[in-house]
A and B are shown apart, each in its own frame.
Chain A
Amino acid sequence: MSSSVKNSIETKNLHIGYQQKKSVSTIQENISVQLFKGEFVGILGKNGIGKSTLLRTLTGVQDAISGEVFIQGKSIQSYNLKELSSLISLVLTERLPESQLTVYELVALGRQPYTNWIGRLGKKDIDQIKWALEQTETLSLANRYFNELSDGQLQRVLIARALAQDTQIILLDEPTAHLDMHHTIKIFKLLKKLSKETNKTIITTTHEVNLAINSADQLILLTDKEVVAGNKKTLIERNSFDHLFSSEIVNFNEKLEQFIITKES
């Protein structure tokens, strides 16, 4: 991997949406962003605006309508699944099928791209799994069955699994969807810390707008009008937050740097 490339993900004139035979429904147009190593990135936008579609396009699961996604400076299409699996790891919102996997086994599955045909764990794999469990404070849960965990614990275990996969980029889809305030903040702090300590690019979609605005290094805002990206300061200067939600419901307060529920008059 060429270390000269500083950005992990770059998109150029990306149009995302769904393509079925001849009918094309574009959800968002002209997305051009650059996400760097060591950055914690939040993708914000209201329901149905295309956050998940963008995430799927960035991982290569879904094809772009036009434009391109570059991973480590190379087009995502030039990688095969196997190569991508050592570059990008995922934390998804979908429920896992009921099974009797232990936390350790679940995290160990992250090592699959590196293990032999039967999935034997070598010393390096075991070290990486242990490190991932420690980073997410889930080492004490290692021998529990994952289906016995609380939502907060499970989310950290899923992050551990992504860490075990040892990729430059981690993409998360609403990792705090089922969590209370305490655990939500804990997850955000963890993600921020990991991006700094491991120099990974950690990208998450989220509805926790205020938390994201004040902790992410870069934000990608999906609005009805356009897609803009930048850090908090530039986005405030450009008044970009005003287009995120309808102003009758919530308003962005520049002084407090957060959204405030609009008082009914």
Chain B
Amino acid sequence: MLVITLLVSISLGSVSIPMDEIIAVLSGNNSSKSSWSTIILHFRLPKAITAMLVGSGLSIAGLLMQTLFKNPLAGPFVLGISSGASLGVAILILGAGIFGGVLTAISFSSWGLAIASSLGAAIVLLAVLITAHKVRNTMSILIIGLMFGTVTSAIISVFTFFSDAEKIQQFVFWGFGSLGNLAWNEVLIFFIIYLIAVLNLFQIIKPLNTFLLGENYSKSLGINIKKSRNIILLITSLLTGVITAFAGPIAFIGLAVPHITKLVFKTSDHKILLPAVAILGAIILLICDIIAQLPTSEFTLPINAVTSLIGAPVVIWLLIRKKKIYV
């Protein structure tokens, strides 16, 4: 399934390339037209890989948030973490125009962008966690997350107000979300950060499962809650941060994919759920990317519009059909 969607995704675009040629190029042979090889290897393949990393990364982050907050509505977007990452990027892109100097230099490096946006994500997540610890009521936590999201958006508007048109345009386009602007070296950076985050998951499979019983039981099972929570914080910030930096704030995947996965696999065991959301997330974002390509072959829709158009109805449908959603 992953392979099929990957191939379909690569085959679509303003230049149509036959499937057998794609397979030929991907397996290392030369295509009958050299331009096809270039398109596939330098544009479509990095884009497809980006889509997979984004889809699986956001889905993992969403699952972690839902388990940590014991709330089925939690997710990087809902809790304002994506907005935090946006703020990091906004400070870098827009702030460079206002403050100039060092920021300008950093804003051109993709590492700088990734780190700024991870930091932004981490700060909001930390703030949500601290307040969550104080209020404990899960409904309040979501509202607080939304508030943090609003505040960061407001700060971004203030920045926009003081920036010049060119910078604003750059930022607005970034905000639409895009999977296709990455060169290979950026994909590599993306992949390295993704890998660091995912490798850390192995440490927390057991704690995550005890979180399903609540904090007191976790503690009585010998789990160091603070440490596990910090690792979850680290993974989520890294994933949301790097994804938001390179692909823009992509909505709904982090919320919808874990629920679709739980519905399909009917389990809460993270040993199964984590790899499942990763694969399903990759597939679903590839499908979203295919849909974004379809309407006209000349243009592509902003990926963010597609994920929202698909994600929102899916969540509503899930709620109506199941009447019950699980952490």
Contact = CB atoms under 8 A, between A and B. Distances in A.
Interface of A: 59, 61, 81-86, 88-90, 92, 94, 96-101, 105-106, 109-110, 112-113, 115, 117-119, 165
Contacts of B316: none
Interface string B243-273: 0000000000000000000100011110100
Contacts of B224: 81
B222 A117 contact: no
B25 interface: no
A99 B326 contact: yes
Interface string B180-223: 00000000000000000000001101100110111011011111
21 contacts: A81-B222, A83-B222, A85-B221, A88-B220, A89-B220, A98-B324, A98-B325, A98-B327, A99-B212, A99-B268, A99-B326, A100-B262, A100-B267, A101-B268, A105-B268, A109-B210, A109-B217, A112-B210, A118-B202, A118-B205, A119-B205
Given A96-B213, A98-B326, A106-B213, A118 B271 contact: yes
A100 B326 contact: yes
Contacts of B214: 92, 94, 96-97
Chain A CB within 10 A, most for which of B203, B217, B222: B217
Given A85-B221, A119-B206, 9 more contacts: A61-B216, A81-B222, A84-B220, A85-B222, A89-B220, A99-B212, A112-B206, A112-B209, A112-B223
Chain B CB within 10 A, most for which of A61, A90, A100: A100
Contacts of B268: 99-101, 105
A81 B213 contact: no
Contacts of A109: 209-210, 212-213, 217, 221
Contact of B216 (A94, A99, A112): A94
B222 A82 contact: yes
B205 A96 contact: no
B72 A98 contact: yes
A92 B216 CA distance: 8
B204 to A, nearest CB: 10
B221 A92 contact: no
Contacts of A105: 268-269
B70 interface: yes
A152 B327 CA distance: 23
Interface residues of B, number: 29
Main secondary structure of the interface of B (DSSP, over half): loop
Given A98-B72, A99-B268, A100-B262, A84 B209 contact: no
A100 B202 CA distance: 21
Contacts of A110: 221
Contact of A112 (B203, B221, B267): B221
Interface string B71-93: 01000000000000000000000
A124 B121 CA distance: 43
Contacts of A100: 262, 266-268, 326
B221 A119 contact: no
A97 B217 contact: no
A206 to B, nearest CB: 19
Contacts of B210: 109, 112
B203 to A, nearest CB: 8
B307 to A, nearest CB: 25
Contacts of A84: 220, 222
A113 B212 contact: no
A112 B224 CA distance: 13
Contact of A85 (B202, B220, B324): B220
